[in-house]
Protein backbone atom coordinates (compact mmCIF):
# COMPACT_ATOMS: atom_id res chain seq x y z
CA UNK A 1 0.00 0.00 0.00
CA UNK A 2 1.31 3.45 -0.95
CA UNK A 3 0.27 6.33 1.32
CA UNK A 4 0.51 10.12 1.31
CA UNK A 5 2.69 11.19 4.26
CA UNK A 6 0.48 14.21 5.05
CA UNK A 7 -2.45 11.86 5.75
CA UNK A 8 -0.58 9.96 8.46
CA UNK A 9 1.69 12.58 10.02
CA UNK A 10 1.55 16.02 11.62
CA UNK A 11 4.24 18.24 10.12
CA UNK A 12 5.32 21.58 11.56
CA UNK A 13 8.46 23.67 11.84
CA UNK A 14 10.41 25.02 14.78
CA UNK A 15 10.02 28.66 15.79
CA UNK A 16 13.47 29.80 16.88
CA UNK A 17 16.39 31.56 15.24
CA UNK A 18 19.66 29.66 14.98
CA UNK A 19 21.29 31.97 17.57
CA UNK A 20 18.83 30.84 20.27
CA UNK A 21 21.22 28.07 21.33
CA UNK A 22 23.23 28.12 24.56
CA UNK A 23 26.58 26.45 25.09
CA UNK A 24 25.60 24.62 28.27
CA UNK A 25 21.93 23.94 27.55
CA UNK A 26 20.39 20.71 28.80
CA UNK A 27 18.07 20.08 25.82
CA UNK A 28 18.93 19.39 22.17
CA UNK A 29 18.38 22.27 19.78
CA UNK A 30 17.90 20.96 16.26
CA UNK A 31 18.98 23.18 13.39
CA UNK A 32 19.80 22.26 9.80
CA UNK A 33 23.26 21.02 10.84
CA UNK A 34 23.83 17.30 11.22
CA UNK A 35 24.78 17.65 14.87
CA UNK A 36 22.32 19.34 17.27
CA UNK A 37 23.23 22.33 19.43
CA UNK A 38 21.94 22.76 22.99
CA UNK A 39 19.40 25.10 24.60
CA UNK A 40 18.13 25.91 28.10
CA UNK A 41 14.41 25.51 27.38
CA UNK A 42 12.22 23.22 25.29
CA UNK A 43 9.05 23.65 23.26
CA UNK A 44 8.45 20.04 22.19
CA UNK A 45 8.25 16.71 24.03
CA UNK A 46 7.49 13.94 21.57
CA UNK A 47 8.74 11.12 19.36
CA UNK A 48 9.44 12.50 15.92
CA UNK A 49 11.53 12.67 12.79
CA UNK A 50 13.33 15.96 12.10
CA UNK A 51 14.15 17.02 8.57
CA UNK A 52 16.52 19.92 7.87
CA UNK A 53 14.62 22.34 5.65
CA UNK A 54 17.61 23.95 3.95
CA UNK A 55 21.26 23.41 3.18
CA UNK A 56 22.43 19.88 2.40
CA UNK A 57 19.32 18.42 4.14
CA UNK A 58 19.50 15.60 6.66
CA UNK A 59 17.14 13.43 8.72
CA UNK A 60 17.22 12.71 12.47
CA UNK A 61 15.12 10.70 14.95
CA UNK A 62 14.45 11.93 18.48
CA UNK A 63 12.22 11.00 21.41
CA UNK A 64 12.06 13.47 24.30
CA UNK A 65 12.24 17.19 25.09
CA UNK A 66 13.88 19.51 22.55
CA UNK A 67 13.57 22.72 20.59
CA UNK A 68 14.04 23.49 16.90
CA UNK A 69 15.15 26.10 14.40
CA UNK A 70 12.44 27.67 12.25
CA UNK A 71 13.63 25.88 9.10
CA UNK A 72 13.60 22.44 10.73
CA UNK A 73 10.55 20.26 10.03
CA UNK A 74 9.15 18.24 12.94
CA UNK A 75 7.18 15.18 11.81
CA UNK A 76 5.03 13.14 14.23
CA UNK A 77 2.81 10.15 13.54
CA UNK A 78 -0.84 11.15 13.98
CA UNK A 79 -1.82 7.51 14.46
CA UNK A 80 0.80 5.22 15.92
CA UNK A 81 -1.39 2.21 15.14
CA UNK A 82 -0.87 3.03 11.47
CA UNK A 83 2.57 4.68 11.24
CA UNK A 84 5.56 3.57 13.33
CA UNK A 85 7.93 6.51 13.82
CA UNK A 86 11.17 4.52 13.56
CA UNK A 87 9.95 3.12 10.24
CA UNK A 88 9.18 6.66 9.08
CA UNK A 89 12.69 7.75 10.08
CA UNK A 90 14.35 5.10 7.92
CA UNK A 91 12.04 5.80 5.00
CA UNK A 92 12.83 9.54 5.09
CA UNK A 93 16.54 8.86 5.56
CA UNK A 94 16.38 7.12 2.19
CA UNK A 95 13.94 9.62 0.66
CA UNK A 96 16.19 12.58 1.51
CA UNK A 97 18.02 11.85 -1.77
CA UNK A 98 14.80 12.80 -3.58
CA UNK A 99 14.30 15.87 -1.36
CA UNK A 100 17.75 17.12 -2.33
CA UNK A 101 16.80 16.89 -5.99
CA UNK A 102 13.55 18.74 -5.30
CA UNK A 103 15.18 21.56 -3.29
CA UNK A 104 15.04 25.03 -4.79
CA UNK A 105 16.74 28.40 -4.24
CA UNK A 106 20.05 30.11 -4.91
CA UNK A 107 23.15 29.64 -2.77
CA UNK A 108 21.23 27.86 0.01
CA UNK A 109 18.75 25.29 -1.28
CA UNK A 110 15.54 24.65 0.64
CA UNK A 111 12.38 22.54 0.57
CA UNK A 112 8.77 23.55 1.19
CA UNK A 113 6.13 21.90 3.36
CA UNK A 114 4.51 20.38 0.29
CA UNK A 115 7.72 18.48 -0.48
CA UNK A 116 6.94 16.48 2.66
CA UNK A 117 3.14 16.35 2.87
CA UNK A 118 2.88 15.01 -0.70
CA UNK A 119 5.49 12.28 -0.24
CA UNK A 120 4.23 8.86 -1.31
CA UNK A 121 5.57 6.12 0.93
CA UNK A 122 5.06 2.36 1.21
CA UNK A 123 2.90 1.65 4.26
CA UNK A 124 2.75 -2.05 5.17
CA UNK A 125 1.11 -3.36 8.34
CA UNK A 126 2.32 -2.03 11.69
CA UNK A 127 3.94 -5.40 12.47
CA UNK A 128 5.84 -5.27 9.19
CA UNK A 129 6.93 -1.68 9.87
CA UNK A 130 8.26 -2.74 13.27
CA UNK A 131 10.10 -5.66 11.69
CA UNK A 132 11.73 -3.39 9.08
CA UNK A 133 12.74 -0.83 11.71
CA UNK A 134 14.11 -3.55 13.99
CA UNK A 135 16.33 -4.98 11.24
CA UNK A 136 17.64 -1.54 10.29
CA UNK A 137 18.13 -0.65 13.98
CA UNK A 138 20.36 -3.69 14.45
CA UNK A 139 22.45 -2.92 11.38
CA UNK A 140 22.66 0.78 12.33
CA UNK A 141 23.74 -0.21 15.84
CA UNK A 142 26.61 -2.28 14.46
CA UNK A 143 27.63 0.57 12.17
CA UNK A 144 27.64 2.97 15.13
CA UNK A 145 29.74 0.48 17.13
CA UNK A 146 32.34 0.23 14.35
CA UNK A 147 32.54 4.03 14.13
CA UNK A 148 32.98 4.25 17.90
CA UNK A 149 35.81 1.72 17.65
CA UNK A 150 37.51 3.89 15.03
CA UNK A 151 37.08 6.97 17.22
CA UNK A 152 38.63 5.14 20.19
CA UNK A 153 41.60 4.08 18.10
CA UNK A 154 42.11 7.70 17.01
CA UNK A 155 42.03 8.70 20.68
CA UNK A 156 44.56 5.96 21.43
CA UNK A 157 46.98 7.40 18.85
CA UNK A 158 46.69 10.86 20.39
CA UNK A 159 47.10 9.47 23.91
CA UNK A 160 50.26 7.64 22.87
CA UNK A 161 51.57 10.85 21.28
CA UNK A 162 51.16 12.73 24.57
CA UNK A 163 52.63 9.82 26.53
CA UNK A 164 55.79 9.85 24.41
CA UNK A 165 56.22 13.56 23.68
CA UNK A 166 54.08 15.50 26.16
CA UNK A 167 51.89 18.50 25.42
CA UNK A 168 52.85 21.81 23.86
CA UNK A 169 53.77 24.56 24.65
CA UNK A 170 54.20 23.05 28.15
CA UNK A 171 56.88 20.68 26.80
CA UNK A 172 57.11 18.94 30.15
CA UNK A 173 59.70 16.48 28.81
CA UNK A 174 62.09 19.28 27.89
CA UNK A 175 62.60 18.56 24.19
CA UNK A 176 64.47 21.08 22.05
CA UNK A 177 62.05 23.65 20.63
CA UNK A 178 62.23 25.12 17.14
CA UNK A 179 59.85 26.15 14.42
CA UNK A 180 58.31 24.07 11.68
CA UNK A 181 60.73 25.72 9.22
CA UNK A 182 63.53 23.92 11.11
CA UNK A 183 62.17 20.46 10.26
CA UNK A 184 61.13 20.95 6.62
CA UNK A 185 63.07 20.97 3.37
CA UNK A 186 60.34 22.26 1.05
CA UNK A 187 56.98 24.02 1.36
CA UNK A 188 54.73 24.69 -1.62
CA UNK A 189 51.15 25.58 -2.48
CA UNK A 190 49.10 23.47 -4.86
CA UNK A 191 47.50 24.56 -8.12
CA UNK A 192 44.91 27.33 -8.16
CA UNK A 193 43.41 26.11 -11.44
CA UNK A 194 39.74 25.05 -11.28
CA UNK A 195 38.59 21.44 -11.50
CA UNK A 196 37.18 20.41 -14.88
CA UNK A 197 35.11 17.51 -16.15
CA UNK A 198 37.33 14.83 -17.66
CA UNK A 199 40.54 16.44 -16.46
CA UNK A 200 43.79 14.53 -16.93
CA UNK A 201 44.80 14.36 -13.27
CA UNK A 202 43.04 13.59 -10.00
CA UNK A 203 42.64 16.77 -7.92
CA UNK A 204 43.30 16.47 -4.17
CA UNK A 205 41.35 19.17 -2.32
CA UNK A 206 41.01 20.32 1.29
CA UNK A 207 37.72 18.40 1.58
CA UNK A 208 39.67 15.18 1.06
CA UNK A 209 41.54 15.68 4.34
CA UNK A 210 39.54 14.31 7.25
CA UNK A 211 39.33 15.56 10.83
CA UNK A 212 41.34 12.60 12.12
CA UNK A 213 44.30 13.18 9.82
CA UNK A 214 43.53 10.77 6.99
CA UNK A 215 42.61 10.93 3.32
CA UNK A 216 39.07 10.41 2.08
CA UNK A 217 39.08 9.94 -1.69
CA UNK A 218 35.40 9.10 -2.15
CA UNK A 219 34.69 12.48 -3.76
CA UNK A 220 37.43 13.25 -6.24
CA UNK A 221 37.54 15.94 -8.95
CA UNK A 222 39.88 16.14 -11.93
CA UNK A 223 42.07 18.92 -13.29
CA UNK A 224 44.20 19.80 -16.31
CA UNK A 225 47.66 21.19 -15.53
CA UNK A 226 50.54 21.91 -17.96
CA UNK A 227 53.45 19.48 -17.65
CA UNK A 228 55.73 22.36 -16.66
CA UNK A 229 53.63 23.02 -13.52
CA UNK A 230 53.34 19.42 -12.32
CA UNK A 231 56.56 19.27 -10.25
CA UNK A 232 55.33 22.24 -8.21
CA UNK A 233 51.83 20.99 -7.43
CA UNK A 234 51.82 17.19 -7.40
CA UNK A 235 52.07 15.13 -4.23
CA UNK A 236 54.14 12.07 -3.47
CA UNK A 237 54.19 9.49 -0.70
CA UNK A 238 55.34 11.06 2.57
CA UNK A 239 54.19 14.61 1.84
CA UNK A 240 52.42 16.36 4.72
CA UNK A 241 49.28 18.16 3.54
CA UNK A 242 48.09 21.15 5.56
CA UNK A 243 44.67 22.72 4.98
CA UNK A 244 45.40 26.43 5.21
CA UNK A 245 42.00 27.99 4.62
CA UNK A 246 38.28 27.47 5.13
CA UNK A 247 36.12 27.99 8.20
CA UNK A 248 37.84 28.29 11.56
CA UNK A 249 36.54 24.83 12.45
CA UNK A 250 38.39 23.24 9.53
CA UNK A 251 41.65 25.18 9.32
CA UNK A 252 44.79 23.17 9.97
CA UNK A 253 43.47 19.71 9.11
CA UNK A 254 46.62 17.78 8.26
CA UNK A 255 47.45 14.35 6.88
CA UNK A 256 50.30 12.38 5.33
CA UNK A 257 49.92 11.37 1.70
CA UNK A 258 50.39 7.59 1.69
CA UNK A 259 49.70 6.63 -1.92
CA UNK A 260 51.80 6.13 -5.05
CA UNK A 261 49.48 7.52 -7.75
CA UNK A 262 50.11 11.01 -9.06
CA UNK A 263 47.64 13.65 -7.89
CA UNK A 264 47.54 17.42 -8.26
CA UNK A 265 47.13 19.40 -5.07
CA UNK A 266 44.65 22.25 -4.69
CA UNK A 267 45.90 25.76 -3.96
CA UNK A 268 44.21 25.88 -0.55
CA UNK A 269 46.48 23.06 0.68
CA UNK A 270 50.13 23.52 1.63
CA UNK A 271 52.51 20.67 0.70
CA UNK A 272 55.26 20.12 3.25
CA UNK A 273 58.27 17.82 2.84
CA UNK A 274 60.19 17.21 6.05
CA UNK A 275 63.93 16.97 6.51
CA UNK A 276 66.03 14.57 8.61
CA UNK A 277 64.82 16.05 11.92
CA UNK A 278 61.22 14.83 11.69
CA UNK A 279 59.01 12.10 10.32
CA UNK A 280 55.90 13.09 8.35
CA UNK A 281 53.56 11.25 10.72
CA UNK A 282 55.01 13.07 13.71
CA UNK A 283 54.42 16.51 12.18
CA UNK A 284 50.93 15.58 10.97
CA UNK A 285 49.73 14.28 14.34
CA UNK A 286 51.31 17.25 16.15
CA UNK A 287 49.28 19.64 14.01
CA UNK A 288 46.10 17.61 14.55
CA UNK A 289 46.43 17.54 18.35
CA UNK A 290 43.93 19.59 20.36
CA UNK A 291 46.66 21.87 21.73
CA UNK A 292 47.76 22.69 18.17
CA UNK A 293 44.18 23.31 17.06
CA UNK A 294 43.81 25.92 19.81
CA UNK A 295 47.03 27.56 18.69
CA UNK A 296 45.86 27.64 15.06
CA UNK A 297 42.52 29.14 16.04
CA UNK A 298 44.40 31.81 17.97
CA UNK A 299 46.31 32.67 14.80
CA UNK A 300 42.94 33.16 13.04
CA UNK A 301 41.31 35.28 15.74
CA UNK A 302 41.28 38.39 13.58
CA UNK A 303 39.41 36.66 10.76
CA UNK A 304 35.61 36.83 10.55
CA UNK A 305 34.09 33.50 9.54
CA UNK A 306 37.07 32.53 7.41
CA UNK A 307 40.60 31.49 8.31
CA UNK A 308 43.74 31.72 6.23
CA UNK A 309 47.14 30.60 7.47
CA UNK A 310 49.74 31.08 4.76
CA UNK A 311 52.94 29.10 4.27
CA UNK A 312 55.09 31.67 6.05
CA UNK A 313 52.84 31.65 9.11
CA UNK A 314 52.66 27.87 9.12
CA UNK A 315 56.47 27.58 9.06
CA UNK A 316 56.72 30.00 12.00
CA UNK A 317 54.63 27.72 14.25
CA UNK A 318 56.71 26.55 17.21
CA UNK A 319 57.17 22.82 17.74
CA UNK A 320 59.20 20.56 19.98
CA UNK A 321 61.68 18.28 18.21
CA UNK A 322 62.07 14.93 20.06
CA UNK A 323 64.73 12.34 19.17
CA UNK A 324 64.27 10.49 15.88
CA UNK A 325 64.26 7.14 17.67
CA UNK A 326 61.23 8.16 19.71
CA UNK A 327 59.48 9.47 16.61
CA UNK A 328 60.07 6.10 14.91
CA UNK A 329 58.61 4.32 17.95
CA UNK A 330 55.47 6.45 17.69
CA UNK A 331 55.13 5.90 13.94
CA UNK A 332 55.44 2.11 14.38
CA UNK A 333 52.67 2.25 16.99
CA UNK A 334 50.47 4.40 14.75
CA UNK A 335 50.90 2.05 11.80
CA UNK A 336 49.99 -0.93 13.97
CA UNK A 337 46.80 0.85 15.09
CA UNK A 338 46.06 1.81 11.48
CA UNK A 339 46.16 -1.88 10.50
CA UNK A 340 43.43 -2.51 13.06
CA UNK A 341 41.48 0.46 11.74
CA UNK A 342 41.70 -0.98 8.21
CA UNK A 343 40.10 -4.23 9.41
CA UNK A 344 37.32 -2.34 11.16
CA UNK A 345 36.71 -0.15 8.10
CA UNK A 346 36.26 -3.22 5.92
CA UNK A 347 33.63 -4.49 8.34
CA UNK A 348 32.02 -1.05 8.36
CA UNK A 349 31.88 -0.94 4.57
CA UNK A 350 30.16 -4.34 4.47
CA UNK A 351 27.59 -3.22 7.03
CA UNK A 352 26.90 0.01 5.15
CA UNK A 353 26.48 -1.97 1.92
CA UNK A 354 24.06 -4.31 3.69
CA UNK A 355 22.07 -1.40 5.10
CA UNK A 356 21.85 0.28 1.69
CA UNK A 357 20.65 -2.98 0.14
CA UNK A 358 17.97 -3.37 2.82
CA UNK A 359 16.86 0.25 2.43
CA UNK A 360 16.53 -0.29 -1.32
CA UNK A 361 14.56 -3.49 -0.74
CA UNK A 362 12.14 -1.87 1.71
CA UNK A 363 11.73 1.60 0.20
CA UNK A 364 12.81 1.34 -3.43
Residue 171's closest CA among 23, 303, 330, 291? 291
Rounded distance between C-alpha atoms, residue 247 and residue 57, angstroms: 20
Residue 158's closest CA among 327, 41, 330, 280? 330
Looking at residue 303, its pLDDT comes to 46
Looking at residue 1, its pLDDT comes to 86
Looking at residue 299, its pLDDT comes to 78
Sheet holding 72-77, edge to edge: 9-13, 72-77, 44-52, 59-68, 27-30, 37-39
Beta bridge partners of 221: 203
Looking at residue 248, its pLDDT comes to 57
Q: For the segment 200-259, what is each residue's pLDDT rounded down to a tens digit?
A: 999 998 888 887 788 888 889 999 999 899 988 999 999 999 988 655 556 678 999 999
Total-model pTM = 0.84
Rounded distance between C-alpha atoms, residue 272 and residue 279, angstroms: 11
248 near 303, Cβ under 8 Å? Answer: yes
CATH code of the domain made up of 176-321:
3.90.220.20
CATH code of the domain made up of 2-123:
3.90.220.20
Looking at residue 304, its pLDDT comes to 46
Low-confidence ranges of the chain (pLDDT < 50): 302-305
Looking at residue 196, its pLDDT comes to 92
Write a three-state SS string for the chain: CEEEHHHCEEEEECCECHHHCCCCCCEEEECCCCCCEEECCCCEEEEEEEEECECCCCEEEEEEEEEEECCEEEEEECCCCCCCHHHHHHHHHHHHHHHHHHCECCCCCECCHHHHHCCEEECCCHHHHHHHHHHHHHHHHHHHHHHHHHHHHHHHHHHHHHHHHCCCCCCCCCCCEEEHHHHEEEEEECECCCCCCCCCEEEECHHHECCCCCECCCCCEEECCCHHHHHHHEECCCCEEEECEEECCCCCCEEECCCCCCEEEECCEEEEEECCCCCHHHHHHHHHCHHHHHHHHHHCCCCCCEEECCHHHHHCCEEECCCHHHHHHHHHHHHHHHHHHHHHHHHHHHHHHHHHHHHHHHHC
Looking at residue 216, its pLDDT comes to 87
Largest CA distance in the chain: 71
Write a three-state SS string for 123-151: CCCHHHHHHHHHHHHHHHHHHHHHHHHHH
Q: For the segment 249-308, what is each residue's pLDDT rounded down to a tens digit?
A: 566 789 999 999 889 999 889 999 999 999 999 999 999 999 998 888 777 754 444 567
Rounded distance between C-alpha atoms, residue 51 and residue 65, angstroms: 17
Amino acid sequence: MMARLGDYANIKTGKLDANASSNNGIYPFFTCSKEPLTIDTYSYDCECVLVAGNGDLNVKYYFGKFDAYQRTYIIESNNKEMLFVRYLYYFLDKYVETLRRQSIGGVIKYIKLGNLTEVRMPLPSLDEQRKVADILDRISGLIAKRRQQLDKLDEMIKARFVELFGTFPENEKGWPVGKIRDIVQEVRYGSSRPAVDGGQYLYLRMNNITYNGELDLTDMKRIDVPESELPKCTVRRGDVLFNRTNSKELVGKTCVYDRDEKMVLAGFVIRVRVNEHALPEFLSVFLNMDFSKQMLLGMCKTAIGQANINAQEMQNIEIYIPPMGLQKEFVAFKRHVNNTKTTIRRSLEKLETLKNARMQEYFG
